[in-house]
Amino acid sequence: MTSPFIEEMIEMTSNMYRLGWDERNGGNISYMLDEEEVKEYLDIHCVLRRIPIGFYAPTLIGKYFIVTGTGKYFRNVKRDPETNLGLFRIAQDGTTAELLWGYRDGGRFTSELPAHLMSHMARLEVDPENRIVMHTHPTYTLAMNYVHELSDRSFTHSLWEMCTECIVVFPEGVGVLPWMLCGNNTIGEATAEKMKEFRTVIWGMHGIYAAGKTPDEAFGLVETVEKAAQIYMLTAHLPRVNTIKDEEMVILAESFGVNYRKDFLNL
């Protein structure tokens, strides 16, 4: 099957692998699709198999998702999308995925699907147009986790200081979680709780979750956080001569008309 949404998944996974963010089988993406766009390419009544999702997702019943597979490498998606991706619908019981395409080798969705779907549920309450959740391991963001306080306010403030665009791109800041065991409902619930406030959530010593209306929005959030973290890590050991002052961040945010977290500034 060839479709625009599969091409978007190929482009996202290829770029994330190229940037070194998703080593081996690291990282995962879930993309919510409209039934009408799925019907153009698939028989939505032909269910290949049913897979438990591991929790009850009542607000996602009937929703369609294309999701990277567990144990799959991003670098292989372009070569064999039907094995490395799967497209499914959340069944009427709210606990089952009805596979319509993909996972051709008998595989299944990422083990972090609960965190993805819980994040979708949380973001849809805030923004009904949200469609993408991506998880990745950007190098400098990870490095920054080891030398910086892991709190929403402190981490956000340091990122905002690194690039002029940061407070404009993620004016709500970033959420930060401590290290937690991945692939279970506990970290999914904690991530979803943060997603009520933030489109971007740092998993301490692990990676980053980002959500958005489009692949570009979610990818752009990760890119911007990673660039800021890179600048932080390149300069953290040096005496700081200049910085973006909090008063200047206010000018920036208000000039671009974004709703920023005033409580994250030292004014």
Number of structural domains the chain divides into:
2
Strands laid side by side in the 85-90 sheet:
49-52, 96-102, 85-90, 64-68, 28-33, 132-136, 207-212, 200-203, 175-177
Residue 34 and residue 135 in one domain: no
Q: How far apart are CA 134 and CA 125, in angstroms?
A: 18
Residue 42 and residue 151 in one domain: no
Residue ranges of the chain with pLDDT lower than 70? none
Residue 193 and residue 101 in one domain: no
Residue 222 and residue 189 in one domain: yes
Query: 214-258, pLDDT tens digit by residue?
Result: 999 999 999 999 999 999 999 999 999 999 999 999 999 999 999
Cβ distance 28 to 56 under 8 Å? no
- CATH number of the domain enclosing 13: 3.40.225.10
Annotated catalytic residue: which of 7, 11, 36, 112? 112
| Closest CA relative to residue 157, chosen from 265, 241, 255, 267 | 265
Q: How far apart are CA 44 and CA 255, in angstroms?
A: 47
Residue 262 and residue 192 in one domain: yes
What does DSSP assign to residue 229? H
State residue 267's pLDDT score: 87
Its pTM stands at 0.94
Domain termination residue (choose one: 75, 110, 145)? 110
Residue 126 and residue 187 in one domain: yes
Residue 100 and residue 201 in one domain: no
Domain that holds residue 135: 112-267
Is residue 112 annotated as part of the catalytic site, yes or no? yes
In sequence order, what E strands does the chain have? 28-33, 49-52, 64-68, 85-90, 96-102, 132-136, 175-177, 200-203, 207-212
Residue 121 and residue 103 in one domain: no
State residue 183's pLDDT score: 85
Residue 1 and residue 103 in one domain: yes
Instruction: Find the DSSP H helices in 127-214.
Output: 139-145, 152-162, 166-169, 185-195
Residue 140 and residue 40 in one domain: no
Domain termination residue (choose one: 93, 110, 127)? 110
What does DSSP assign to residue 74? G
Q: Which residues contact 241 (CB under 8 A, 6 or more apart)?
A: none
Domain termination residue (choose one: 91, 110, 129)? 110
Residue 266 and residue 161 in one domain: yes
Residue 100 and residue 132 in one domain: no
